[in-house]
Amino acid sequence: MTLRIGVVGTGQMGRYHVERLAGGVPDAEVVAVSDVYVEGAKQVAEQVGARAYADGHELVADDQVEAVLIASPGFTHEEFTLACLAADKPVLCEKPLAPTIDACLRVLEAEAAKPRRLIQVGFMRRYDDGFRAMKAAVDEGGVGRPLLLHCRHRNPSVPPGFTSDMMITDSVVHDIDVTRWLLGQEIVAATVFKARPSSLAPEGLQDPQMVLLETADGVLVDVESFVTCQFGYDIRYELVAEAGTVALGEQPGVQVRHQGQHHGPIPADYKERFGAAYQRELEEWVSGVLRGEVVGPSAWDGYATTAVAEAAVESLTKGGRVAVELAERPALYA
């Protein structure tokens, strides 16, 4: 059985997903793509033998499309997820679910009225072997109750136009989701501290930032977001618990010791570091939809992450600690 998929957005992430879906995800077929830059959509469509649309709503309405992957800009995610809900079509929406709390709540309200979940949000770290092993170690309980979580989220560089706010809404959102997923708790406050900006960062970019998150049970999480670190894509976590620690990424890849030196690889970017996670995310989404279920990160996870990100941006902008107050969790996401 094959799942016929439409991909909205043929920019960098959309093309990345189309290549994976068409090139190696079992039981997946890309039958349509869309982009407001329709020439770009046509190029991608021709490569995989799909139809091309300028309007994502026409793609969602296409009766050959059974499921949708949204990889268009974040400000369009609300309209396209709502269109998929109206058409009763399962949808994998790249993060963020939507850029604002209000937009996320509108999507939640629409999905909560459905008999089953249709939305999955693209928090792909949950599909990474390292993060899954980290969660297994925490859940096994041998190290005791978590107390602190140290996160290092470093990019070597960012594209032109990347803003200080985007360091949170585009980058730190992954650490916010991992924190909620790893610890099984909501985040109740965010405080952002500004370091001395790197002289190698674009003019005006507040880089690095330290984001301090507080969870409902009192675990403190510090996230270093440094998006112009130059040396590579460096993701490192250390969870500190009552009787031990669980660490990830301290020495990525194979370490070579030779002639009194040791060295190892550092990924160049997030696609290299999380390529296998993106692959598993797509494989598990497709197989789940073919079984009639959507079990990955939910619209609630997308909403809660956007709520924390909004609080962090407010702290970045105005200073101080900003509390996070979530709406009541609908039964659909119990």
Residue 270 Cβ, how far from ligand ISE at the closest point, in Å? 4
Residue 144 Cβ, how far from ligand ISE at the closest point, in Å? 30
Residue pair 126/274 in contact (Cβ under 8 Å)? The answer is no
Residue 159 Cβ, how far from ligand ISE at the closest point, in Å? 8
Residues in the chain: 334
> What is the number of other CB atoms lying within 10 angstroms of the CB of residue 262?
10
What span, in angstroms and rounded, lies between the C-alpha atoms of 84 and 89?
Answer: 5
What span, in angstroms and rounded, lies between the C-alpha atoms of 11 and 315?
Answer: 31
> Closest CB to ligand ISE among 19 and 58?
19
> Which residues does residue 226 pair with via DSSP β-bridges, in sequence order?
154
> Closest CB to ligand ISE among 171 and 215?
171
Residue 284 Cβ, how far from ligand ISE at the closest point, in Å? 18
Residue nearest ligand ISE by beta-carbon distance:
171
Burial status of residue 268 (CB atoms within 10 A of its CB: 0-12, 13-18, 19 or more): exposed
Residue 207 Cβ, how far from ligand ISE at the closest point, in Å? 11
Residue 231 Cβ, how far from ligand ISE at the closest point, in Å? 15
Phi then psi dihedrals of residue 5, to 5 deg? -115, 140
> Closest CB to ligand ISE among 270 and 303?
270
Residue 127 Cβ, how far from ligand ISE at the closest point, in Å? 12
Q: Which residue type, as a one-letter code, is found at position 246?
A: V
> Closest CB to ligand ISE among 171 and 179?
171
3-state SS class at 131: helix
> Closest CB to ligand ISE among 225 and 315?
225
> Closest CB to ligand ISE among 174 and 280?
174
* Positions that interact with ligand ISE (CB under 6 A): 155, 170-171, 174, 270
b/e sequence 38-62, b meaning 16+ C-beta within 10 Å: bebbbebbeebebbbbeebeebbeb
Closest CA to 78 of 322, 305, 302: 302
> Closest CB to ligand ISE among 101 and 173?
173
